[in-house]
Amino acid sequence: MNKLILYFVFSLIVFNVQAQNRFFTKDAKINFNSSTSVEDIVAESNQATTLIDIDKNEIAFSVLTTSFKFRRALMEEHFNENYMESVKFPKAKFNGKIISPIEWKSEKVVLVDVKGVLTMHGVSNEIILKAQIIPGKNKILAITEFKVIPEAFGISIPSAVRDKIAKEVTIKIDAAYTPYQP
């Protein structure tokens, strides 16, 4: 009986430890910015899902492309129908690994390199991005900013509007992770 209780307590501890290894949020903020002399196009989604595994130093991130909000409804329509083809490719994803050293217990701001694969519009490209991470016991904050070239992801932009859309689109992500309890 004692053994059983011990085993039960032990398994609880193990479970608890395991649960704390993964942090996640469903409310990560992602925005992108394409600014040219002709037009500034800004869009934001507050509903990206992202997970950090602090044992494996892995990060997964995904967002539904139709959840981006633009200033104008017409921009939103063009973005989903002409460029991202959201019906065919409803998600944009990133799966990566932190390749710089990181001490998760430190609670100090660290600048890390994250190497991974970004998939959008059905095309995957390997990228390395810089992220700023603030580890914590019950909360991890992460922000990143990187640039993507639409054409690298098979997004063709008609020449008539090419000068309205930046050659490189800046993407910013801001996420506050909490322990993942499945």
Partner 1 sequence: MQLTPLINHKTLNMTKRKTVQWLLWILLIGLIAAFSAIYFAFNMPRRNLANENSVYLLSAKQLISDFRNDETIATKKYLDKAITVTGEIKSIRNLDNHSIVFSLEDAMEGVSCTIDSADIVTYASKLLHYKTGSRGTFKGRCSGMLMDIQVINCVPVQGN
By CB under 8 A, name the binding residues for partner 1: 26-27, 29, 44, 46-49, 62-64, 66-67, 72-74, 76-77, 80, 86-87, 90-91, 182
Least distance in angstroms from the C-beta of 51 to partner 1:
9
CB nearer to partner 1: pick between 20 and 47: 47
Asked if 23 and 57 touch (Cβ cutoff 8 Å), the reply is no
> Which residues contact residue 169 at a Cβ distance below 8 angstroms, ignoring those fewer than 6 apart?
32, 33, 34, 147, 148, 149, 150
Quickly count helices (H) and strands (E) in the chain: 2, 9
Asked if 132 and 144 touch (Cβ cutoff 8 Å), the reply is yes
Q: Which amino acid is at 37?
A: S
CB nearer to partner 1: pick between 91 and 147: 91
Least distance in angstroms from the C-beta of 97 to partner 1:
21
Least distance in angstroms from the C-beta of 31 to partner 1:
10
Instruction: Give me the residues paired with residue 145 across strands.
Output: 172
Instruction: Give me the residues paired with residue 42 across strands.
Output: 33
Least distance in angstroms from the C-beta of 180 to partner 1:
9
CB nearer to partner 1: pick between 31 and 100: 31
CB nearer to partner 1: pick between 72 and 108: 72
